[in-house]
């Protein structure tokens, strides 16, 4: 069964490849031709109605002249041969001239019958004339009609003629054929010009962009053979420039991520050995701290701080490049976690410098139950607090407030603020903010951990009076 499906799929693909493909330019050309022909049809309807009306008006004029020939006879009578000659020259079969205050004049080869269709051109509207013209073109053979109207020679007279519709119908067919040929020529000429213009202005640039996108998709990290930028200022030019900017930024980002991946792979290999070496160095430093030589004892704290900082840098680097764990949600008291983080940060400060002031304030105002991963939030708060104290702050305050479906957590300090040139890239890896001894990964790790909970972290405020970082957590967990 699976083999049959595969065979049918291959056959469908091969059949599809044999079919002609119509690109965007050909489709546009077809649409233009269809639109032009539709417009021509809409123009043809009033045109053919006008052609029929003018044709009948000319017959009324020629019939009027034939009827006026009766005024040249003493008794308004002519012989049968003269009557037939006058009507043949007028191209009508009967004419009746009704003029006020004068006797009726008539020349009749075919007398009007009650069942003969009658048309008064003076009473027909535009839609009626269009309908009459279309109906006339659908009939076959001889078809006599009675038509009335005014003559330009006798404005106040009413002229009625009887005429065979067949010659007029043949003339209408000829007119329609000429209109169709002319419409096709105009439509094809216009569509060709538009096709060439669109191909030059739109289709070719889009094809070049499509080729560039395909090449970029196949080798996004490659050097790429970029075309020179277009000098156009229209929408196509804007799209072309923005795509090239996007290419450069994505290539730079991908290269950076590749380097980070390489750094992560290398860090995984050396992390274990490095920690063993640092542990050994710390044991030796502890012995130096108990040395009888006073000068040696003074050097021991500096060595210990350096070892601790190296250990922390290695740990942060391995944490950043490692895949982030999925949060294990559980309900707990956030106020209790904040107190725990404060104790840990104060102990770290005392280890590095017993005289260093670190004031950690829990401003939650009581119990605050949340549903999140306690260990991950612990790392977020530790990173934010440690960055604040390392940047020179002496007081850090943690508070919360609800906002819609989220719980906002503010971590505010009284430090000197974040430099403006650093604020724009603060959450990028290896951005240290001018502080020596840091890896610049604490905020990047905190951002990833907050996003793993479905929230976001931002720099809410920064100035000489201090800095406030704010992160959000879903109020009811994920």
Contact 230, 240 (CB under 8 A): yes
Instruction: Give the tokens for residue 349.
Output: 């400060």
Contact 452, 460 (CB under 8 A): no
Tens digits of per-residue pLDDT, 71-102? Answer: 877 777 788 888 889 889 989 999 999 988 88
Tens digits of per-residue pLDDT, 255-291? Answer: 777 766 666 666 665 665 666 666 666 666 666 666 6
C-alpha to C-alpha distance for 80 and 280, rounded to whole angstroms: 140
Give the up-direction half-sphere exposure of residue 124: CA atoms within 13 A in the CB hemisphere: 19
Burial class (CB in 10 A: 0-12, 13-18, 19+), 246: exposed
**453 DSSP assignment:** T
C-alpha to C-alpha distance for 24 and 198, rounded to whole angstroms: 10
Name which of 63, 64, 79, 68 is nearest 163 in CA terms: 63
Give the up-direction half-sphere exposure of residue 151: CA atoms within 13 A in the CB hemisphere: 22
C-alpha to C-alpha distance for 381 and 130, rounded to whole angstroms: 83
Instruction: Give the 3-state DSSP-derived string for 369-403, with helices as H, strands as E and coil as C.
Output: EEEECHHHHHHHHHHHHHHHHHCCCCEEEEEEEEE
Residue by residue, pLDDT tens for the chain (478 residues) are 444 544 454 554 444 444 445 566 677 777 877 887 788 788 888 999 999 999 999 999 999 888 888 887 777 778 888 888 988 998 999 999 998 888 888 888 888 888 889 999 888 888 999 999 999 999 999 999 999 998 888 888 899 999 999 999 999 999 999 988 888 888 788 878 887 887 787 777 777 777 777 877 777 766 655 666 676 777 777 777 777 788 777 877 777 777 666 666 666 656 656 666 666 666 666 666 666 666 666 656 666 666 665 665 556 555 555 556 678 889 999 999 999 998 888 877 766 666 677 889 999 888 889 999 988 899 899 889 988 888 888 899 999 999 888 899 999 999 888 887 777 777 776 665 545 445 567 788 888 889 888 899 998 988 888 999 999 998 765 4
Residue whose entry in the numeric block shows the structure tokens 């100035």: 463
Instruction: Give the 3-state DSSP-derived string for 204-247, with helices as H, strands as E and coil as C.
Output: HHHHHHHHHHHHHHHCCCCCCCCCCCCCCCCHHHHHHHHHHHHH
């Amino acid at each position: 069964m699976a083999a049959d499906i595969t065979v049918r799929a291959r056959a469908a693909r091969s059949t599809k490849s044999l079919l002609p493909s119509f690109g965007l330019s050909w489709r546009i050309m077809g649409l233009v031709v269809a639109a032009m022909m539709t417009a021509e049809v809409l123009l043809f309807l009033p045109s053919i109605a006008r052609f029929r009306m003018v044709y009948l008006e000319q017959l009324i004029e020629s019939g009027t002249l034939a009827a006026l020939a009766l005024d040249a006879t003493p008794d308004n009578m002519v012989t049968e041969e003269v009557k037939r000659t006058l009507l043949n020259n007028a191209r009508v079969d009967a004419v009746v001239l009704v003029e006020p205050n004068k006797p009726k004049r008539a020349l009749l080869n075919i007398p009007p019958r009650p069942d003969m269709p009658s048309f008064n051109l003076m009473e027909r509207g535009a839609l009626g004339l269009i309908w009459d013209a279309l109906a006339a073109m659908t009939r076959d053979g001889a078809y006599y009609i009675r038509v009335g109207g005014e003559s330009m020679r006798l404005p106040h007279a009413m002229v009625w003629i009887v005429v065979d519709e067949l010659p007029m119908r043949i003339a209408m067919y000829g007119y329609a054929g000429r209109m169709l040929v002319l419409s096709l020529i105009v439509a094809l000429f216009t569509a060709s010009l538009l096709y060439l213009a669109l191909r030059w202005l739109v289709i070719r640039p889009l094809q070049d962009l499509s080729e560039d996108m395909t090449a970029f998709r196949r080798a996004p990290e490659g050097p790429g053979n970029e075309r020179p930028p277009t000098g156009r200022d229209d929408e196509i030019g804007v799209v072309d420039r923005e795509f090239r900017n996007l290419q450069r930024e994505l290539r730079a980002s991908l290269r950076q991520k590749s380097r980070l991946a390489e750094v992560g792979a290398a860090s995984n290999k050396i992390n274990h050995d490095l920690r063993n070496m640092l542990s050994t160095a710390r044991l030796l430093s502890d012995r130096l701290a108990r040395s009888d030589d006073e000068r040696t004892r003074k050097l021991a704290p500096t060595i210990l701080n350096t070892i601790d900082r190296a250990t922390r840098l290695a740990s942060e680097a391995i944490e950043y490049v490692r895949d982030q764990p999925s949060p294990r949600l559980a309900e707990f008291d956030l106020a209790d976690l904040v107190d725990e983080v404060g104790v840990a940060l104060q102990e770290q400060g005392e280890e590095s410098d017993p005289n260093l002031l670190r004031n950690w304030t829990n401003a939650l105002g009581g119990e605050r139950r949340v549903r999140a991963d306690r260990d991950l939030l612990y790392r977020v708060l530790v990173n934010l607090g440690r960055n604040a104290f390392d940047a020179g702050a002496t007081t850090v305050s943690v508070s919360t407030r609800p906002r819609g479906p989220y719980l906002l957590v503010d971590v505010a300090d009284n430090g000197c603020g974040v430099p403006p040139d650093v604020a724009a890239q603060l959450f990028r890896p290896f951005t240290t903010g001018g502080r020596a001894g840091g890896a610049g990964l604490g905020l990047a790790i905190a951002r990833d951990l907050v996003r793993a909970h479905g929230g976001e972290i931002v720099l809410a405020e920064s100035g000489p009076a201090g800095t406030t970082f704010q992160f959000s957590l879903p109020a009811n967990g994920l």
